[in-house]
Amino acid sequence: MATIGFVGPGSTGSAIAGRLVSAGHDVVAWNRSVEPLTESVKPGRVRPPR
């Protein structure tokens, strides 16, 4: 499947990212502060960029 990236995902982007992961896509997210990503960055979910 595709790799999809989000910049500053927020609440809407995080929800979309979760659905994309459930559909089998690899999702990468970046935000200038880490706190908003900590909830969505879990094993099997959204991953931060390398």
Res 3: pLDDT:
87
Q: How far apart are CA 29 and CA 42, in angstroms?
A: 12
CB 1 within 8 A of CB 8: no
Helices and strands per DSSP (H, E), number in the chain:
2, 2
CB 36 within 8 A of CB 46: no
Res 42: pLDDT:
62
Res 43: pLDDT:
56
Q: How far apart are CA 11 and CA 36, in angstroms?
A: 8
What's the pLDDT tens digit per position in 1-50? 788 888 888 888 888 888 888 898 988 888 787 766 666 666 556 666 76
